[in-house]
Chain A
Amino acid sequence: MFYRESGDFSTTYSQDSQTFPIAFDRWRYYVVLAFAFLVVPFIINDYWANAVLLPFLIYAIAAIGLNILTGYCGQVSLGTGGFMAVGAYACYKFMTGIDIYFMGADGEWIRYALPPINIFFSVLLAGLVTAFVGLLFGLPSLRIKGFYLAVATLAAQFFLVWLFNKWEWSYNYSASGQINAPTRGVFGFEVTGATASPAASYLFCLVFAVLLAWLARNLTRGAVGRKWMAIRDMDIAAEIIGVNPLRAKLSAFAVSSFFVGVSGALFFSVYLGAVEVGEVFGIQKSFLVLFMIIIGGLGSIFGSFAGAAFMVLMPVLLKNVMVGQMGWPTDLAEHMIFMVVGGLIMVFLIAEPHGLAQLWRLAKEKLRLWPFPY
């Protein structure tokens, strides 16, 4: 009754092909955006920003990235953590100023440091660097498929983490091997570092999440996205009807890595502030993002957000209930969360392989008639 499309007429092709053809959906979308931009920054506090909202937005970007590769193009990747690490370290180098060493005339090493780049552009550039690295590790996908490729992307995961452990230039020769985000801001508002206000950090991430989601949505419903989906559904058939698998697969890897790189850069600079690569960007992170898109829904932008929200909120909630309410020890709650996550993955794959996004679609379908039977 409330959710309906009657009276909603498209009179031009552009109206017909818009992202939200139903007026109700469109208005809901504007309301959500307005709430996120105009209301949340004023009511946000430290706990909500750090425990829920920042990880949700950042993981959502990573999930969209992986969804482009896995959900739309059908190439399973277990290297997400490694690519996030690339984004984080690239962002660190850009925001502290890249230093170059070259041999002077008298045989001495001369250090020349480029000026630090604004944090906004550092994050974008970090995404581009990650896109390039993703392109390199995407090359084998032209020869190997399915879980052979999934295992091959593990090579990226382990190699990249090892690289950032050993390559001293990447962490500016700091003795601890950690990278720490210096205080940086945009338009005079600090967004990174310890003194940044939660509202500024939140808005900074939100801008990226909205921009990238908008980009992903439009990429996936355009020519590029249809090529990806053709490759996913059957790559040989796609090749026969004229989709160039080289360009389709590599562009999926590059775009996906760009998203993942941006999310890694934000994860380090805005959310954590200090990163030790093996701990933060290990194989667990790859699985976490993979779980997000399985639970959220493969091949759906909304699903990426839903999955990220679910996987961020559920452990917080379970922990609150089990440790806070029932007084369990934390390690026991940890094990329980593992079991619940694993169990949920299996339940979703069995009961609803298209994830939360499909449940949402079904709910909308039901809402059209509700509360009337016909």
Chain B
Amino acid sequence: MPDQFLYAVEAAINGLMAGVLYALVALGFVLIFKSSGIFNYAQGVFALFAALTLVGIMDGQVPFAHLINALFGTDVHHFGWHAPALLGIALTVVVMVIIAIAVERFILRHLVNQPDIILFMATIGLAYFMEGFGDMMWGSNIKKLDIGIPQGGSFWIEENTAWLGGENFYGFFIDQLDIIAAITAAVLVIALTLFSQYTKQGRALRAVADDHQAALSVGISLRFIWVLVWSIAGVVALVAGAMWGSKSGVQFSLSLIALKALPVLMLGGFTSIPGAIVGGLIIGMGEKLFELLIGVPYLGGATELWFAYVLALIFLVFRPQGLFGEKIIERV
């Protein structure tokens, strides 16, 4: 096999893995959109915030240390202990649930029956607030997150694929972290599907997604469902944040992956969980291949910045509801 082709395959596989990470963020969007019709722009910032909190708890940082020091002239930074990863994750989940409750209590409850676009803009405001809040709580420097996921290329794969190419081909380079992320995403999707199909709360969740009023009339508490969904989205954000954080450090740019998840969603359709996964894979693979084959040779590179959006834009013109979305029917 020619080496050029193998490089393309390698890029495609790595793109698929990156796509899984996009899909992880997109998953949080879909969950909230399905159950409450809200397009939660803040999902990416949730991922950032969750990762920040995880690092903060594991490193024993004092929350709001910067603010406290500025107000009282003290000099506190750390509690001086290091928490194990599992404890950190558990506590972060608690924090995300608290945020879900606060979001429902202070925002959603007051915005019932508003047009979708108002809710969308409210979540942009929420994103800004959470960004400032996260930075204020834990500081805005870039942090290293290590929850024990192995990193670096997998030697096993490299050794076992080296025979495919010629003299200068040393096998596929695939990050172990990406593989673990892919497995995590698969587990998460299966768990969510099982949850929504086979548990009482899951059924209630689907009922709310189908029709708010009908669900209310059979005694389902809308508020509880909303808190539940935002909590689940918070947990998904934690997983996504932990994966991205381990990969590239916990920093502001994490919240920008949320923007990448938007075209993923548009491609897959806003209401479809499999759509989020497939959309993520297509975008992840597409942008890597486009960069390799067209971007670098002809356009001067860095096409990954916009490829996903333009692809989604062109795609939507032909199929406005996305790949797996429900057909849009409009009436006067």
Q: Do A and B bind each other?
A: yes
User: Which positions in A face B, CB cutoff 8 Å?
Assistant: 76, 139-140, 143-148, 150-152, 154-155, 158-159, 161-162, 165-166, 234, 236-237, 240, 283, 287, 290-291, 294, 327-329, 331-332, 334-346, 349-350, 353
Question: Is A146 in contact with B117, judged by CB distance below 8 angstroms?
Answer: yes
- Cβ contact of A140, chosen from B66, B126, B259, B313, cutoff 8 A: B313
Contacts of A334 in B (CB 8 A): 132, 135
A and B contact pairs by CB, cutoff 8 A, 30 listed: A145-B320, A146-B117, A147-B39, A147-B116, A148-B266, A150-B120, A151-B263, A154-B259, A154-B262, A154-B309, A155-B309, A155-B310, A155-B312, A159-B306, A161-B305, A166-B301, A237-B332, A291-B125, A329-B70, A334-B132, A336-B132, A336-B136, A338-B135, A342-B130, A344-B125, A345-B124, A349-B122, A349-B125, A350-B110, A350-B111
**How would residues 299 to 332 of chain B score, 1 for a CB under 8 Å from any chain A CB and 0 otherwise?**
1111101100110110011001000000000111
**How would residues 251 to 280 of chain B score, 1 for a CB under 8 Å from any chain A CB and 0 otherwise?**
000000001001101100000000000000
- Determine whether B140 belongs to the interface, using a CB cutoff of 8 Å to chain A: yes
Which 3 pairs from chain A and chain B are nearest by CB? A338-B132, A345-B125, A342-B129
Contacts of B312 in A (CB 8 A): 151-152, 155
Contacts of A344 in B (CB 8 A): 125
Bound-state CA distance A373–B129 (Å) is 41
Question: Is B299 in contact with A335, judged by CB distance below 8 angstroms?
Answer: no
- Determine whether B289 belongs to the interface, using a CB cutoff of 8 Å to chain A: no
Residue from B120, B133, B313 with most neighbouring chain A CB atoms (10 Å): B313
Bound-state CA distance A331–B265 (Å) is 34
From 89 to 136 in chain B, residues with beta carbon under 8 angstroms from any chain A beta carbon are: 106-107, 110-111, 114, 116-118, 120-122, 124-133, 135-136
User: Which positions in B face A, CB cutoff 8 Å?
Assistant: 39, 66-67, 70, 106-107, 110-111, 114, 116-118, 120-122, 124-133, 135-136, 140, 259, 262-263, 265-266, 299-303, 305-306, 309-310, 312-313, 316-317, 320, 330-332
From residue A276, how far is it (CB to closest CB) to chain B in Å? 15
Question: Is A290 in contact with B313, judged by CB distance below 8 angstroms?
Answer: no
Give me 5 other A-B pairs in contact (C-beta within 8 A), A155-B263, A329-B66 excluded.
Answer: A144-B317, A335-B133, A338-B129, A349-B121, A349-B125
DSSP majority for the B interface?
helix
Question: Is B299 in contact with A346, judged by CB distance below 8 angstroms?
Answer: no
Question: Is B125 in contact with A162, judged by CB distance below 8 angstroms?
Answer: no
Bound-state CA distance A144–B318 (Å) is 10
Bound-state CA distance A151–B259 (Å) is 9
Bound-state CA distance A92–B140 (Å) is 36
Bound-state CA distance A349–B125 (Å) is 9
Bound-state CA distance A329–B131 (Å) is 18
- Cβ contact of A339, chosen from B136, B316, B330, cutoff 8 A: B136
Kindly count the residue-residue contacts between A and B in the assembled complex, taking CB atoms under 8 Å apart. 144
- Cβ contact of B128, chosen from A144, A145, A155, A342, cutoff 8 A: A342
Bound-state CA distance A161–B305 (Å) is 9
Question: Is B125 in contact with A343, judged by CB distance below 8 angstroms?
Answer: yes
Contacts of B129 in A (CB 8 A): 338-339, 341-343, 346
- Cβ contact of A236, chosen from B125, B140, B330, cutoff 8 A: B330
Whether A151 contacts B107 in the complex (CB less than 8 A), given A338-B132, A349-B118, comes out as no
Contacts of A76 in B (CB 8 A): 117, 120-121
Contacts of B111 in A (CB 8 A): 349-350
- Cβ contact of B300, chosen from A166, A237, A291, cutoff 8 A: A166
Whether A234 contacts B332 in the complex (CB less than 8 A), given A328-B70, A338-B128, comes out as yes
Contacts of B133 in A (CB 8 A): 335, 339
From residue A46, how far is it (CB to closest CB) to chain B in Å? 30
Bound-state CA distance A155–B259 (Å) is 11
Residue from A291, A340, A349 with most neighbouring chain B CB atoms (10 Å): A349
Contacts of B128 in A (CB 8 A): 287, 338-339, 341-342, 345
Question: Is B114 in contact with A158, judged by CB distance below 8 angstroms?
Answer: no
Bound-state CA distance A152–B266 (Å) is 9
Whether A166 contacts B332 in the complex (CB less than 8 A), given A140-B316, A294-B121, comes out as no
Contacts of A234 in B (CB 8 A): 332
Contacts of B303 in A (CB 8 A): 162
Bound-state CA distance A334–B302 (Å) is 30
Among residues of B, the one whose C-beta sits closest to the C-beta of A340 is B132
Bound-state CA distance A120–B299 (Å) is 34
Bound-state CA distance A141–B132 (Å) is 33
Contacts of B124 in A (CB 8 A): 287, 290, 345
Question: Is A342 in contact with B316, judged by CB distance below 8 angstroms?
Answer: no
Among residues of A, the one whose C-beta sits closest to the C-beta of B42 is A342
Contacts of B70 in A (CB 8 A): 327-329, 332
Question: Is B262 in contact with A342, judged by CB distance below 8 angstroms?
Answer: no
Question: Is A345 in contact with B67, judged by CB distance below 8 angstroms?
Answer: no
Question: Is A337 in contact with B132, judged by CB distance below 8 angstroms?
Answer: yes
Among residues of B, the one whose C-beta sits closest to the C-beta of A139 is B317
Question: Is A342 in contact with B116, judged by CB distance below 8 angstroms?
Answer: no
Contacts of B127 in A (CB 8 A): 342
Question: Is A159 in contact with B121, judged by CB distance below 8 angstroms?
Answer: no
Question: Is A151 in contact with B320, judged by CB distance below 8 angstroms?
Answer: no
Question: Is A345 in contact with B121, judged by CB distance below 8 angstroms?
Answer: yes
Contacts of B135 in A (CB 8 A): 334-335, 338
Among residues of B, the one whose C-beta sits closest to the C-beta of A79 is B309
Among residues of B, the one whose C-beta sits closest to the C-beta of A163 is B306
Bound-state CA distance A126–B271 (Å) is 41
From residue B33, how far is it (CB to closest CB) to chain A in Å? 10
Contacts of B67 in A (CB 8 A): 332
Contacts of B265 in A (CB 8 A): 151
Contacts of B140 in A (CB 8 A): 331, 335
Bound-state CA distance A165–B300 (Å) is 10
